[in-house]
């Protein structure tokens, strides 16, 4: 279930109540007149079956509530209620498959910020990856994958392409465009320092690194794993499965490949650096491709439900047009 907290002017609040009362997927509707300040207005609390949340929120957006008030969305972990079970049955589909698009866009927006912490995690992850490559230690490679925050901007880019959010696309490109080059440069610098203080091997021979050599040798399975991981990553994002997302992070060699570019460059092995760069490009582009395709399928399902909902008579009671929308789905 999803909990909504709505603040709106009195007239708009009454229209919102018509929408909420007209949906069998909505329950526990509470209306507090003139209870809100900053902005002034009525306060409405309600619970919505997760499967129908974005459809209902779409109607509330048509009432311009985000402009004149606010809509807060919260997940409900546990609810003991026969009415809640009836509401979930009234909503088509399963809660575990439902996508709350407002949550997805909000989460991806937060994870695409070019912040100090994002850059720090990118740099530190590549430092771990660089040491893992030098020592031929897969455990360090896995650690670098887990630490790396790059999936946030990749998911953000996928959402931006599907939802046509140019602002989100720009932020995602900025995060990736700064994070990866800076991390690679500092991985190269740290490798040069390791050579200078004589703690790294004198020669970097990729053929002797049997456990981590796959990082700079892309093949069909590089594409396949990245594609599958991209699908799983988006599914974990849209369904809030954090455990699955961690699995994605340790299955794709984006951070290790970037680290390998820096390490190989420090040793002057441009063939190795080129192979790692190819691996990186394949992984990044394939993850985005898989993300876009997955989100497109999920979005089409939502749009079909949204279009069907536009004919609901409750929209007329709220002053909204029946059969069409004033907003893009």
Q: What is the pLDDT of residues 158-179, one digit of tens each?
A: 999 998 889 999 999 999 999 9
pLDDT value for 248: 57
Q: Are residues 120 and 254 in the same domain?
A: yes
Q: Are residues 156 and 274 in the same domain?
A: yes
Q: Are residues 159 and 31 in the same domain?
A: no
Q: Are residues 168 and 247 in the same domain?
A: yes
Least confident segment among 109-113, 143-147, 197-201, 211-215: 211-215
Q: Are residues 139 and 287 in the same domain?
A: yes
User: Which tokens belong to 97?
Assistant: 């498959």
Q: How many domains would you assign to the chain?
A: 2
Mean pLDDT across the chain: 88
CATH of the domain at 30: 3.30.70
**Residue 206 scores a pLDDT above 70:** no
> In the Cβ-directed half-sphere of 190, how many Cα atoms lie within 13 Å?
23
Residue 314: inside a domain: no
Q: Are residues 122 and 182 in the same domain?
A: yes
139 with 132: CB under 8 angstroms? Answer: yes
d(CA 252, CA 129): 13
Comparing 327 with 28, the larger pLDDT belongs to: 28
pLDDT value for 45: 97
Write down the residue that tokens 């997805």 correspond to. Answer: 104
157 with 288: CB under 8 angstroms? Answer: yes
Which secondary structure element, helix H or strand E, spans residue 49, and what is its range?
none
Q: Are residues 26 and 131 in the same domain?
A: no
Q: Are residues 124 and 148 in the same domain?
A: yes
**Residue 150 scores a pLDDT above 80:** yes
- Residues with Cβ within 8 Å of 65's Cβ and at least 6 positions away in sequence, in order, are 6, 7, 8, 12, 16, 71
Residue 160: inside a domain: yes
Q: Are residues 231 and 252 in the same domain?
A: yes
- Domain, as residue range, for 6: 2-98
Q: pLDDT confidence of 317, banded at 50, 70, 90?
A: confident
C-alpha gyration radius of the chain: 24
**Residue 195 scores a pLDDT above 70:** yes
Q: Are residues 88 and 133 in the same domain?
A: no
In angstroms, how far is the first alpha carbon of the chain from the final one?
22
| Beta-sheet pairing, 2-8 with 70-75 | antiparallel
d(CA 124, CA 188): 13
Residue 309: inside a domain: no
List alpha helices for the chain, DSSP H: 10-21, 53-62, 65-68, 82-90, 101-110, 116-135, 138-147, 151-163, 166-196, 220-238, 242-249, 254-267, 270-309, 314-317
Q: Are residues 275 and 197 in the same domain?
A: yes
d(CA 175, CA 154): 9
Closest by CA position to 130, among listed 69, 207, 198, 212: 212
Domain termination residue (choose one: 48, 63, 98): 98
DSSP label at 75? E
d(CA 174, CA 34): 43
Residue 313: inside a domain: no
Where residue 198 falls (left for φ over 0; alpha for ψ -120 to 50; beta otherwise) is left
Where residue 209 falls (left for φ over 0; alpha for ψ -120 to 50; beta otherwise) is beta
Q: Provide, rounded to the nearest whole percent, the portion of the chain with pLDDT above 90.
A: 50
DSSP label at 7? E
DSSP label at 200? S
Mean pLDDT value across residues 6-18: 94
Mean pLDDT value across residues 12-25: 92
Residue 324: inside a domain: no
Q: Are residues 124 and 249 in the same domain?
A: yes
pLDDT value for 187: 95
Residue 110: inside a domain: yes
Q: Would you mind telling me the total number of residues written for the chain in this entry?
A: 329
245 with 163: CB under 8 angstroms? Answer: no
Comparing 174 with 311, the larger pLDDT belongs to: 174
């Amino acid at each position: 279930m999803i909990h909504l907290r709505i603040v709106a002017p009195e007239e708009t609040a009454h229209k919102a109540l018509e929408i909420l009362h007209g949906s069998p997927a909505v329950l526990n509707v509470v209306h507090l007149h003139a209870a809100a300040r900053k902005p002034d207005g009525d306060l409405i609390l309600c619970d919505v079956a997760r499967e129908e949340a974005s459809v209902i929120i779409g109607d509330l957006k048509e009432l311009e509530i985000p402009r004149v008030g606010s809509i807060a969305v919260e997940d409900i972990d546990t609810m003991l209620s026969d009415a809640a079970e009836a509401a979930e049955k009234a909503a088509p589909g399963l809660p575990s498959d439902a996508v709350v698009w407002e949550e997805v866009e909000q989460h991806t927006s937060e994870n695409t910020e070019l912040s100090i912490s994002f850059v720090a995690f990118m740099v530190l992850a590549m430092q771990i990856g660089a040491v893992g490559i030098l020592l031929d230690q897969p455990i360090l490679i896995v650690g670098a994958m887990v630490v790396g925050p790059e999936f946030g901007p990749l998911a953000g880019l996928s959402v931006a392409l599907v939802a046509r959010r140019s602002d989100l696309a720009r932020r995602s490109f900025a995060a990736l465009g700064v994070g990866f080059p800076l991390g690679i440069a500092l991985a190269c610098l740290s490798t040069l320092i390791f050579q200078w203080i004589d703690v790294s091997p004198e020669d970097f021979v990729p053929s002797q690194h049997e456990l981590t050599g796959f990082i700079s040798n892309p093949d069909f399975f590089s594409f396949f794993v990245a594609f599958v991981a991209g699908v799983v990553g988006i599914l974990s994002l849209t369904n809030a499965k954090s455990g699955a997302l961690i699995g994605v992070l340790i299955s794709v060699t984006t951070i290790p490949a970037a680290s390998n570019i820096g390490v190989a460059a420090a040793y002057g092995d441009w063939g190795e650096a080129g192979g790692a760069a190819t691996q990186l490009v394949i992984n990044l582009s394939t993850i985005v491709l898989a993300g876009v395709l997955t989100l497109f399928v999920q979005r089409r399902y939502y749009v079909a439900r949204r279009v069907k909902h536009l004919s609901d008579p409750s929209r007329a009671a709220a002053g909204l047009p029946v059969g069409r929308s004033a907003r893009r789905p």
